[in-house]
Amino acid sequence: MNFNKKRSLFLSAFLAFTILISLVGHRAAFATDNETYKNLKLFNEVLNMVEKNYVEEVDPKVVIHGAINGMIKSLDPHSAFMTAEQYNDLKIDTKGTFSGLGIVITMQNDMITVVAPIEDKPAFIAGVKAGDGIIKIDGETTKDLTIMDAVHRLRGKRGTKVTITIVREDEDDPIDFDIVRDIIEIKSVKHRTYYEDIGYIRISNFQETTADELDKALKEINTEDAPLKGLVLDLRNNPGGLLGQSIKVSDMFLKSGVIVSSKGRAKDSEYIYTARDDGYEPKCPVIILINGGTASAAEIVSGALHDNKRAILLGNQSFGKGSVQTIVPLKDGSALKLTIAKYYTPAGESIQARGIVPDIVVEYIKPVTTGKDEPIRIREKDLKGHIKGEKEEEKDGEAGKEMEDLKKDNQLKNAIDLLRSWDTFKEI
């Protein structure tokens, strides 16, 4: 096939793509607008000039994909055009298993930015933090990369190394991290109890299995024989994920009321999701931990439980991603990820670029490590053969681990202390 035929073919594809956009967001009037036709004529003129005059022969597919990327990139940080390979990467994400670094990224101020590192994964262990800006991947600038380009470069075979260069707000110079890729198999829900009657559930992201994992966790720690006195739902550094899962999770705590609503230009982007009484919602008080890494679907859950007076929010202001994206598969295997609506909390608030402010603001305090020059203090319990204290056996076991956890996490400790004193405040 000669270049002219290829160009005609891809120009037709481009026109079809333009019509697709009109269908999902811009209405049919977009396609008949004189200004649009004028600009398409300009596009064809430039393409023709490239064909005839560029110093080397170009691949029409690369040119067209570049033009589409530029168009979508001009809209907002979350809309993206994905090649077939990138679209497959996205589908793998929601399954909960892939090979990479274990970070969630977004575009902020024209920079690839870390929303949150996933706990206990390579990037987290290496020291990458929420808010870090990635300026290089393996020594190459990320300036002109799309989100999907960056994701594709960061991923790779297990055991291979990638170097990312980041800029951090409190650091003068860029920092290099050499990170070895690993299989990122995300179990999105972890749980345990404190003081035997305070439940703790950590949701790290919202993937296909999250609601089922949460259901199992609740049944394990909240039984008829040993009901919980309170529950901490930890959504800190949760970058979000599947909207449907966030709705199911919210519904597990609510008997009625609006969970979230969405509104866009197209009628089919408008939804109102409501809770239903399933008969087994937890009855205990709930405190949700949030911070600057709490985003998207995690903010939906936070807003739903807060506005329905079902939970108190504690921690720091959330990330502020209040937009809804839809995925439109295209004929050649590629796909369009397009922002089609904003979502609103039950109180009718849009958190887009604002975030959610917690009821109780508690700044996270980094644990203080023991300095090298600090003297080592020996206590009675450290002496070999000492007589055991009455509750020492308990403290050396699970309860001892609980105390260590709470010493390292002041936000969690504040939440648990509040739940333990809940009944006392109710009586007052």
How large is the average pLDDT for residues 42-63?
Answer: 91
Statement: residue 384 has pLDDT above 60: no
pLDDT for 373 equals 45
- The residue among 254 and 94 whose pLDDT is bigger is 254
Maximum average pLDDT range among 8-12, 46-50, 305-309: 305-309
Which entry of 296, 302, 318, 334 is annotated as an active-site residue? 296
Statement: residue 258 has pLDDT above 50: yes
Which entry of 121, 248, 321, 337 is annotated as an active-site residue? 321
Which entry of 132, 307, 334, 409 is annotated as an active-site residue? 307
| 321 is known as an active-site residue | yes
Strands 97-100 and 182-185: antiparallel
| 277 is known as an active-site residue | no
pLDDT for 388 equals 64
* CA gap 306, 211 in Å, rounded: 19
Neighbours of 260 (CB within 10 A): 25
Residues 150-168 pLDDT 10s: 988 999 999 999 999 999 9
Residues 190-229 pLDDT 10s: 999 999 999 999 999 899 999 999 999 999 999 989 999 9
| 22 is known as an active-site residue | no
Look up the pTM and report it.
Answer: 0.75
How large is the average pLDDT for residues 299-311?
Answer: 98
How large is the average pLDDT for residues 19-30?
Answer: 46
* Phi-psi label, residue 79: left if phi above 0, alpha if psi -120 to 50, beta otherwise: beta
Domains (range + CATH), the chain = 3-74 (no CATH), 97-185 (2.30.42.10), 187-325+342-428 (3.90.226.10)
Radius of gyration of the chain (CA): 26
* CA gap 285, 253 in Å, rounded: 10
Statement: residue 142 has pLDDT above 90: yes
pLDDT for 22 equals 46
* CA gap 337, 147 in Å, rounded: 11
pLDDT for 85 equals 85
